[in-house]
Amino acid sequence: MRIILLGAPGSGKGTQAKTMSEKLNIKRISLGDILREEVKKNTPLGEKVKEYMYKGLLVPDKIVSMVVEENIDSEDFVIDGYPRNTNQAKDLDNILSKKNLSLDKAIYLEVSQETAIKRLSGRRICKNCGANYHIENMPPKKEGICDICGGMLIQRKDDEPEVIKNRWIVFQKENVPLMNFYKEKDKLIIVDANQEAEEVFQEVLKKLNHG
């Protein structure tokens, strides 16, 4: 099964992609993780990406499509964070077509702005190993310290409230045409992502099995 996850920042795409990858035994392609890794390594691509991410802007289509193509092979997959607009959706169709593959479903995780800001602004990440935490939903045993490696927990620049609001505005602008793109192809599934993560996953499974 080849699936993409759509949704606003804070809709839980990363959490659901990880769960689906583990429980459905499919490859997870997380565009955000791949790009952040490039930034961390200070590669030429990472330097370009940094300029956009830290301002809450989207990385140009050409760059992200190239990264996605490099990570798609014959394995079943779930993609988190791509496509984000109809141009990228068309790019994805072309990428899959070149590899003699096709997309099965586009799952839209529908979330309110209030829920999204609460989730993202409370997120913390380990500076050393990259482990994720949340000050309310998944706090570390010791405040500000990673349970795994003892590293310092930080707030990502793009998880600061003002940047989140910019990301939300950019997302809303691109979202309606993108949803219509997949709706017209009869591949769109809409799931209420304001629920707890396990409830969201169960709804995803139910709709996939009936879709």
Would you name the residues annotated as active-site residues? Answer: 13, 84, 123, 156, 167
List the structure tokens of 121.
């602004």
The phi, psi pair for 39, rounded to 5°, reads -65, -45
- When computed from its CA atoms, the radius of gyration of the chain, rounded to whole angstroms, is 17
Contact by Cβ (8 Å): 173, 85: no
Q: How far apart are the two ends of the chain, measured CA to CA in Å?
A: 12
The phi, psi pair for 144, rounded to 5°, reads 80, 0
The phi, psi pair for 51, rounded to 5°, reads -55, -40
Map tokens 């956009």 to a residue: 52
Helices (H), 82-160: 86-98, 113-121
Q: How many residues can be counted in the chain?
A: 211
Amino acid at 39: V
Helices (H), the chain: 13-24, 31-40, 44-53, 61-71, 86-98, 113-121, 161-184, 197-209
